[in-house]
Amino acid sequence: MRDKWIRGSRNLAAVAVAAVALAGCGGGASSSTASSGNSGELDTSATLRVATAAPSRNLDPYLQTSVGGYGYLSPIFDRLTVVDADGNLEPGLAESWEFAPDGSYLELKLRKGVTFHDGAPFDAAAVVANIERGQTMEGSTVVAALKSITGTDVVDEHTVRLRLAPGAGVELPGVFSNNAGMMISPRFIEAGTDIRNNPGKSGSGAYEVAAYVPEESLTLVRAEGTNWDPEAGKVAGIEIKAMPDASTRLNGLKTGAVDISWVSSANEVVEAQSLAKSGTLAVDEVSFRNVLGVYMRAQGDLAKPEVRQAVAYSIDPAAVSALFSGTCTPRQQLFPAGSWAADDSYQYPYAFDLDKAKSLVQSVGGAPKITLTFGAGTNTEKPANVIQSMLAAAGLDADLNPVPNSQNEPRYVAGDFQSMVANSFTPRVDPAETVSTYITGPYDLSNGNPQIKELATKAANPTLSQDERAPMYQDIAEQTLEEAMFVPICNLTNATVATDKVTDIDGIAWVNNGLFDIRHVGIAK
């Protein structure tokens, strides 16, 4: 079963300027890609050298504390479902899935003929073992993701049913496209093997680990045998190095020491564009699904709705985009363009209006204080500075609070910050997960509104069709944005930059989430 739930934004490259002019109605991707990778005969003995910003802390799928580690894992551990480059949910180790008519279970039909690297078969029992591990292992970080599963039943060797809590579980097929859906060999589970630093032969992916240094590098070699995915395993090996500094990554590409990397800060994206124009490197740009925006808590002066609305009115997405050379496509909605949950006719209630912002500020008296926290050295640093200026123009007293990027999100969720400029609002595969994470969950963008919570519960019913759920999510989005706890601004650009020998760089999944799934990337002769 295939759910088509988003369209890629890369196809809107030529209308970027027009899209900026249509700010507030969503926009298209900015793209000046001169070439998007090689498509010649493959060199199956080559090693792909990858440079990425995020380090990997360990290689256990169920002990990941940040999404940055996912790209290291996807070549090693197959997932029950996957997403393609456009964000469409596709079969992985589960060939199909279906909810019970009464929503009491999710039935997965599993792919036949798959074995883990240690020879153990991938079957229903393996899925059950993995789910139990994810729910019960000490330190597991997927407990919340799997909480709607109350039990498992093996129907036959390749069919498993996941019993669901009432009215829950609709997000599971999408959840399984991330680390929660990564399967490890049941033999390793039974033995209780610690796979954090050495997964051994516990995966079923196209690659195995040859060497791993946490926080530094991962070296993979093609696994023996034929992978079930004919598009995977095109290179003999993959070397992934963590390089936090984008300039260093670009230098590595320019000197040929690195084959592929990603940049998303405006300066680096512009530099990548010029490298593409000169034919030096191949570049593929996509708009993030992530929405750059300002999160707010009802703390201090932001407890007043008028102040939050003033913040929203004072931010001009078109101006932000122009300041960043068009690398931030205005988008003032919660759900991505083309998503079945999005409403193309939606008008953001607080579209830029400086006069209204000033009037609201005057109505509360004084100069309301707001502290803008952001991850230092990340692609939100410049936007935070620009937003500060915009708020000041409206009469708001805004301070900047840079913090290490690893602290930004966890501490905001813990309630340490009054507001945060972040690129982290990531619409999930299923809007139910988006809502439970950001709107009614720890980010509390609903501001505790009981109507939103009630609507979220109704919309997450797995027995409803997309057509039935869509209006509810549109209503949720509308009410949430009216609360002005989150000001969506734009979608930043993530550029895949590669040497001209790398193939299929425009087919890399997860790039629109700021991650990478390089299973299908190859190197031409």
Partner 1 sequence: MLRYAGRRLLAAIPLLLVVPFLIFVLIDLAPGDPAVILAGEDATPERLEQLRATLGLDQNVFVRYLEWVGSVLRGDLGVSLLSDQSVADLLLRRMATTLSLVGFAMVLAVVIGLVLGVLGSLRPGGIVDRAINVIASIAIAIPAFWFGLVLVSLFAVSNQIFPAFGYVPLSDGVVPWFQHLVLPGVALALLPAAEVTLQLRSALGQVMGSDYILNAKARGLGQASVVLKHGLKNACIPVVTVLGFRVAEVLGGAVTIEIIYSMPGMGSLAVNSVQNHDVPVLLGFVLFTTCVVVLVNLLVDISYGYFNPKVRA
Residues of the shown chain interacting with partner 1 in the complex, contacts defined by CB under 8 A: 55, 57-58, 64-66, 138-139, 141-145, 196-197, 213-217, 241, 243-245, 247-248, 251-252, 254-257, 403-407, 409-411, 413-414, 416, 442
Q: How far is the CB of 56 from partner 1 (least distance, A)?
A: 9
- Between 19 and 195, CB nearer to partner 1: 195
Q: How far is the CB of 416 from partner 1 (least distance, A)?
A: 7
Instruction: Tell me the angle at which helices 466-483 and 450-459 cross, rounded to the nearest 10 degrees.
Output: 160
Alpha helices in 117-181, H assignment, sequence order: 124-136, 172-175
- Between 350 and 438, CB nearer to partner 1: 438
- Between 8 and 55, CB nearer to partner 1: 55
How far is Cα 282 from Cα 261, in angstroms, rounded to an integer?
11
Specify whether the CB–CB gap between 115 and 134 falls below 8 A: no
Q: How far is the CB of 304 from partner 1 (least distance, A)?
A: 25
Q: How far is the CB of 336 from partner 1 (least distance, A)?
A: 20
Residue 138 token pair: 């000490």
Q: How far is the CB of 171 from partner 1 (least distance, A)?
A: 13
DSSP 450: H
How far is Cα 274 from Cα 7, in angstroms, rounded to an integer?
27
- DSSP secondary structure string for all residues of 429-449: SSHHHHIIIIISSTT-TTTT-
Alpha helices in 394-515, H assignment, sequence order: 405-413, 431-434, 450-459, 466-483
- Between 437 and 474, CB nearer to partner 1: 437
User: CB-based contacts of 276: which residues, under 8 Å, 6+ apart?
Assistant: 32, 33, 34, 35, 282, 283
- DSSP secondary structure string for all residues of 6-53: ---SGGGGGGHHHHHHTTTS--PPP---S---B-S-B-TT-EEEEEES
What number of other Cβ atoms are within 10 A of residue 172's Cβ?
27
Q: How far is the CB of 60 from partner 1 (least distance, A)?
A: 10
Q: How far is the CB of 270 from partner 1 (least distance, A)?
A: 17
Q: How far is the CB of 248 from partner 1 (least distance, A)?
A: 5
How far is Cα 197 from Cα 59, in angstroms, rounded to an integer?
6
- Between 252 and 395, CB nearer to partner 1: 252
- Between 102 and 399, CB nearer to partner 1: 399
- Between 254 and 458, CB nearer to partner 1: 254
Q: How far is the CB of 510 from partner 1 (least distance, A)?
A: 17
User: CB-based contacts of 149: which residues, under 8 Å, 6+ apart?
Assistant: 131, 135, 162, 163, 164, 165, 169, 172
How far is Cα 81 from Cα 182, in angstroms, rounded to an integer?
9
Backbone angles phi and psi of 320, in degrees to 5:
-60, -45
- Between 115 and 251, CB nearer to partner 1: 251
- Between 217 and 479, CB nearer to partner 1: 217
- Between 121 and 214, CB nearer to partner 1: 214
Q: How far is the CB of 255 from partner 1 (least distance, A)?
A: 5
Distances (CA, A) of 6 to 85, 161, 171, 332, 428: 10, 27, 15, 17, 11
Q: How far is the CB of 69 from partner 1 (least distance, A)?
A: 10
How far is Cα 124 from Cα 100, in angstroms, rounded to an integer?
18
Q: Which of 120, 126, 136, 117 is nearest to 183 (CA)?
A: 126
Per DSSP, what are the bridge partners of residue 295?
A: 420, 486
Specify whether the CB–CB gap between 516 and 85 falls below 8 A: no
How far is Cα 296 from Cα 315, in angstroms, rounded to an integer?
14
- Between 62 and 105, CB nearer to partner 1: 62
- Between 253 and 477, CB nearer to partner 1: 253
CA 498 to chain centre: 21
Specify whether the CB–CB gap between 68 and 515 falls below 8 A: yes
Q: How far is the CB of 80 from partner 1 (least distance, A)?
A: 18
- Between 241 and 382, CB nearer to partner 1: 241
Q: How far is the CB of 1 from partner 1 (least distance, A)?
A: 27
